[in-house]
């Protein structure tokens, strides 16, 4: 019923008011329930707590619907969420760290484990071939071709290796994720992804292939490109070598896992690939490799043998080095304790032990000390400068060596005076009074015994013949000798007697010291060797008091062998003595 229809046609103002009132009353009766509900709604809208409760009931569903419908909600929430995250990190980084720890921890461990596995595999692979003849050949090939050794080993031993993995959005052809093996330098991943998509589309269009058909493999040089297609994404891998068929099953499973984890994102992909980073471990699992002989090899006996050989050589070298240094230390101690010798320096140089110092000519032979210390032949190189010891003991020793006192004669020294005691032959006493003052440390001679007998008469011819019967033998290639002190003193005594007798008779003479060598060397070498032997004997005679101006040194080489029928016989390596009379 309408309001105009209920108003009386001929009524006054009172009747009109009454009608309005009745109409309001009727309206109140009819709308009472709605007005009550409106009041409740107004009160609820005016109450913030009530509004929050109402929104919380529908917020989750509304966000879910909006996320599925389009990306406006995500775009609208991006700014507030980023601001909230930054504020949370600044206020307490531990909150965010604790929240992402369950996710990052396993991911980091898995990444580190995978990196260590690849590093160990690479190290083991290089070690397997580093100590072999084949490894040396490959190093030569790397050096001659300018390639890295690792590349040559990889080329020679590789069966196959997955070097790069591409996850591409099927609808747009954009690259979602890329992973490469260690040491692989790829090109522009986005460019490669775009070209791959273009090639795939070209093949499909050119050959009228259906949506279910596709390009599964491309062979380029040393590489094989395998392609697996899913509803929303394509997985492509670059393989060096010939991979087994089982790898394709692995690729198929990886692609299925990508769709399972990110199917909705792949279906609604709008160009942002950041959300697909969580698929990187799956792509890393596709980077397989297999090398020749891997898995069939047992104990690396060859490498182990080489290592043991090197260790043995190192041990032998260390033992030899330790022994050489121990012997050298013993030698230095022996030289320092030897009278008439002083060490100023000792060191190893050029593989030989160098000893520097001073040595009195009457001191012990250095070669004897070296042998006593256990040093090997030629292991020691001596650099000893001559000097004369001035201790009383050495002055007396030098006097005995140069004056050759007869039996029963005693020598002593004190304050620069050489003291001669006992039964002193007259001939020897005359010689001593002349020669003693030439000795270092002797200023005068004092007779403390008595002179007996007439002066010695020397037959110059017999004396020269006796001197000619003396000889000194040498070892092969040696220019020095040992154990000849008695013979050398005998030579020096004969020279002094001949000198005294010839001076009385007015016949000057020269002592000829002649060196000889066998025929084991060249003439040039033999000549030099024989002269060095004679010169060494001359120096020893000078040390025993023989006038150096009276000695002449001759090197005959091998021209006068004592045993011509045996050119290498030891008798041919000798030094002989003779007298040459000169005109007065």
Q: Do the beta carbons of residue 456 and residue 497 sit within 8 Å?
A: yes
What is residue 383's predicted lDDT score, i.e. its pLDDT? Answer: 92
The mean pLDDT value for 525-548 works out to: 89
Label residue 254 exposed, middle or buried (CB < 10 Å: 0-12, 13-18, 19+).
Answer: buried
What is residue 6's predicted lDDT score, i.e. its pLDDT? Answer: 43
Q: What is the mean pLDDT of the chain?
A: 81
- pLDDT of 254 strictly over 60: yes
Tens of pLDDT, residue by residue over 117-147, are 666 666 666 666 665 677 777 788 888 887 7
The mean pLDDT value for 228-234 works out to: 86
Q: How many CB atoms are closer than 10 A to CB 66?
A: 15
Tens of pLDDT, residue by residue over 17-35, are 777 788 888 888 888 888 8
Look at the pTM and tell me if it is higher than 0.95. Answer: no
CA–CA separation, 333 vs 312, rounded Å? 32
- pLDDT of 504 strictly over 70: no
Q: Do the beta carbons of residue 328 and residue 346 sit within 8 Å?
A: yes
Alpha carbon separation from 563 to 470, 478, 515 (Å, rounded):
17, 19, 15
CA atoms within 13 A on the CB side of 475: 6
- pLDDT of 532 strictly over 90: yes
């Amino acid at each position: 019923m309408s309001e105009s229809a209920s108003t009386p046609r001929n009524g006054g103002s009172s009747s009109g008011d009454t009608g309005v009132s009745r109409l309001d009353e009727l309206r109140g009766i009819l709308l009472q329930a709605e007005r009550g509900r409106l009041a409740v709604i107004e009160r609820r809208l005016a109450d913030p707590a009530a509004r929050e409760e109402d929104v919380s009931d529908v917020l989750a569903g509304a966000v879910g619907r909006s996320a599925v419908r389009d990306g406006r909600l995500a775009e609208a929430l991006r700014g507030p969420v980023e601001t909230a995250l930054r504020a949370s990190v600044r206020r307490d980084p531990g909150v965010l760290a604790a929240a992402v720890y369950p996710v990052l921890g396993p991911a980091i461990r898995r990444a580190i484990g995978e990196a260590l596995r690849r590093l160990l595999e690479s190290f083991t692979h290089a070690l397997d071939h580093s100590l072999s003849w084949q490894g040396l050949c490959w190093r030569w090939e790397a050096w001659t071709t300018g390639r890295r050794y690792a590349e040559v080993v990889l080329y020679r031993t590789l069966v196959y290796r997955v070097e790069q993995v591409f996850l591409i959005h099927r609808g747009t052809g954009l690259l979602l994720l890329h992973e490469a093996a260690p040491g692989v330098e790829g090109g522009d991943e986005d460019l490669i992804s775009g070209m791959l998509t273009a090639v795939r589309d070209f093949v499909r269009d050119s050959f009228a292939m259906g949506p279910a058909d596709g390009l599964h493999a491309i062979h380029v040089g040393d590489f094989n490109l395998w392609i697996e297609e899913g509803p929303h994404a394509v997985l492509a891998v670059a393989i060096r070598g010939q991979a087994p068929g089982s790898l394709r099953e692995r690729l198929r499973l990886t692609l299925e896992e990508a769709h399972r984890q990110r199917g909705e994102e792949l279906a609604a992909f709008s160009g942002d690939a950041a959300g697909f980073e969580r698929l990187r471990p799956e792509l890393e699992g596709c980077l397989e490799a297999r090398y020749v002989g891997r898995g069939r090899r047992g104990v690396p006996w060859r490498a182990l043998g080489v290592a043991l050989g090197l260790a043995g050589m190192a041990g032998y070298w260390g033992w030899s080095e330790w022994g050489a240094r121990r012997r050298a230390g013993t030698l230095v101690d022996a030289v320092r304790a030897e009278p008439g010798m002083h060490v100023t320096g000792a060191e190893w140089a050029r593989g030989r032990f160098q000893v520097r110092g001073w040595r009195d000519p009457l001191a012990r032979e250095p070669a004897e000390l070296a042998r006593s210390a256990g040093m090997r032949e030629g292991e020691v190189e001596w650099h000893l400068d001559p000097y004369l010891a001035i201790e009383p003991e050495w002055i007396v020793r030098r006097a005995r060596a140069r004056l050759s006192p007869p039996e029963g004669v005693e020598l002593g020294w004190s304050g620069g005076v050489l003291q001669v005691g006992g039964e002193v032959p007259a001939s020897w006493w005359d010689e001593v009074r002349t020669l003693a003052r030439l000795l270092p440390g002797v200023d005068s001679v004092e007779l403390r015994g008595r002179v007996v007998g007439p002066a010695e008469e020397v037959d110059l011819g017999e004396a020269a013949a006796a001197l000619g019967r003396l000889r000194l033998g040498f070892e092969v290639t040696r220019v020095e000798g040992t154990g000849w002190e008695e013979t050398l003193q005998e030579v020096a005594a004969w020279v002094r007697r001949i000198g005294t007798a010839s001076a009385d008779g007015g016949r000057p003479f020269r002592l000829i010291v002649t060196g000889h060598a066998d025929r084991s060397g060249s003439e040039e070498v033999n000549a030099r060797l024989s002269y060095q032997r004679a010169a060494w004997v001359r120096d020893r005679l000078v040390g025993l008091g023989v006038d150096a101006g009276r000695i002449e040194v001759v090197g005959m080489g091998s021209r006068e062998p004592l045993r011509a029928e045996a050119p290498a016989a030891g008798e041919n390596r000798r030094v002989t003595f003779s007298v040459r009379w000169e005109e007065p």
